[in-house]
Amino acid sequence: MVANAKRRVFLVLALLLVAAVVLWHLAISASPRTVSKPRITTKPTAVEPESREKSKIDDATPATQKASNPTTLNGYTSVLDSSRPLQMNCVTCSLVSSSGRILDQSKGDEIDGADCVIRMNAAPVKGYEIDVGRRTTLRVLSQFSVPYALNRAQNLIDEKLEYFAAWGAEQHLGDNTPKGKAMIETAKKIPDIGFYRVTPKYYWYQDEIFQKATGKPRQQSGTWLSTGWFTFDVIKLACKRTKVYGKVYGMIPEDFCLDPNAPKAFYHYWERSAGDECSYYKGMENRHSGAHRFMTEKAIFAQWAITHNITFHSPEWDPRKHTEAHHNF
């Protein structure tokens, strides 16, 4: 009987102990706790001058180098996403001119051997592969050539085009314009080709470059910039070394067109309607307005060629012999 009494006492004590423990835990969890947060001190990081400049990059900045090596051309943005700039990864480039002088040179394989092959406007590849190559990395097109190229989109696919870059005023290439809508529609149908257009800011920035190079506002000179101008602007930014095949917009000796025995060539290698290049050059140089000053651009291209490793082939032309600008306004 005494043993039973001891067991009961022991059981009661054990129950009281368990109850005390439970009550203690409940009291702890219900009471407010003060958590001491670690003290964080942030030391201001000095921004290098170069970093400050890079933070200011906008669509008027010609190009910026990425860590993975592609060049970002901020002046051209996707027609599907204006926040996405054109990016190209080129070391060597072939720029194929539209001149008839590129024919019968058999440079097609050499042209295709470059990292990037660049063509202008709607210059065709099919039927001319031996002389102009088979593939195209980038096409730079004026607003006037856009409809022609889009209506022949299969040609762009066949030449394995990667980038389609249009230049022109916003009122001709904006989202709500016929040409802008056509580019957007085609970009959706052919996702393997990137469709880009020059930003308004960068388009007008070219006038600043022209004035800086010539000392005269473009509008006062009675001229308009060419597709060759915009294409040279791209290659001097995106390419480390560029070979230009065929004559580009007046890349001929000063006295060439004065020689009656000089071999003639069509202004465009694929069409005769534009006439021979010398007649076209002379006609443009003699117009007072709405013209294209080939020789003026030639002088500027010569300067760019020397500073940006650009050489001219088929036929050869040495830009070092033409480094003084001859303003033919």
Q: What is the pLDDT of residues 275-307, one digit of tens each?
A: 666 666 665 566 655 556 666 777 888 888 899
Select the more confidently predicted residue: 255 or 84: 84
Q: Among 124, 54, 74, 119, which Cα is nearest to 93's?
A: 119
Q: Give residue 19's pLDDT.
A: 58
Whether residue 225 is predicted with pLDDT greater than 50 in this model: the reply is: yes
What are the angstrom distances between the C-alpha of 7 and each of 1, 10, 12, 17, 21?
10, 5, 9, 15, 21
Whether residue 47 is predicted with pLDDT greater than 50 in this model: the reply is: no
Select the more confidently predicted residue: 15 or 158: 158
Q: Give residue 282's pLDDT.
A: 63
Mean pLDDT check: name the lowest of 14-18, 150-154, 262-266.
Answer: 14-18
Class of domain 57-321: alpha beta
Q: Among 296, 293, 294, 301, which Cα is nearest to 317's?
A: 301
Q: At what angle do helices 227-238 and 294-307 cross, to 10 degrees?
A: 0
Question: Once rounded to an integer, what is the mean pLDDT over residues 160-187?
Answer: 97
Whether residue 203 is predicted with pLDDT greater than 50 in this model: the reply is: yes
What percent of the chain has pLDDT above 70?
64
| Mean pLDDT for the chain overall | 77
Q: Label residue 33 by pLDDT band (50, 70, 90).
A: very low
pTM of the model: 0.73
Q: Give residue 315's pLDDT.
A: 74
From the CB of residue 89, how many other CB atoms can be counted at a distance below 10 Å?
Answer: 13
Answer whether 117's CB lies under 8 Å from 143's CB. no
Question: Once rounded to an integer, what is the mean pLDDT over residues 6-12?
Answer: 57
Select the more confidently predicted residue: 86 or 252: 86
Whether residue 51 is predicted with pLDDT greater than 60 in this model: the reply is: no
Whether residue 70 is predicted with pLDDT greater than 80 in this model: the reply is: yes
The angle at the Cα of 116, spanning 111 to 122, to the nearest 5 degrees, equals 75
Answer whether 199's CB lies under 8 Å from 62's CB. no
Answer whether 121's CB lies under 8 Å from 145's CB. yes
Tally the residues of the chain. Answer: 329
Phi and psi at residue 85, to the nearest 5°: -80, 165
Q: Give residue 10's pLDDT.
A: 58
- Write the pLDDT tens digit of every residue in 113-156: 999 999 999 999 999 999 999 999 999 999 999 999 999 999 99
Whether residue 66 is predicted with pLDDT greater than 50 in this model: the reply is: no
Residues 6+ apart with CB under 8 A from 243: 92, 93, 94, 95, 114, 310, 311, 312, 313
Whether residue 328 is predicted with pLDDT greater than 70 in this model: the reply is: no
Q: Label residue 28 by pLDDT band (50, 70, 90).
A: very low
Kindly state the helix (H) or strand (E) to which residue 126 belongs, with its residue range.
none
Residues 6+ apart with CB under 8 A from 187: 78, 79, 80, 193, 194, 195
Mean pLDDT check: name the lowest of 6-20, 66-80, 226-240.
Answer: 6-20
Q: Give residue 90's pLDDT.
A: 95
- Cα separation, 64 vs 124, in Å, equals 31
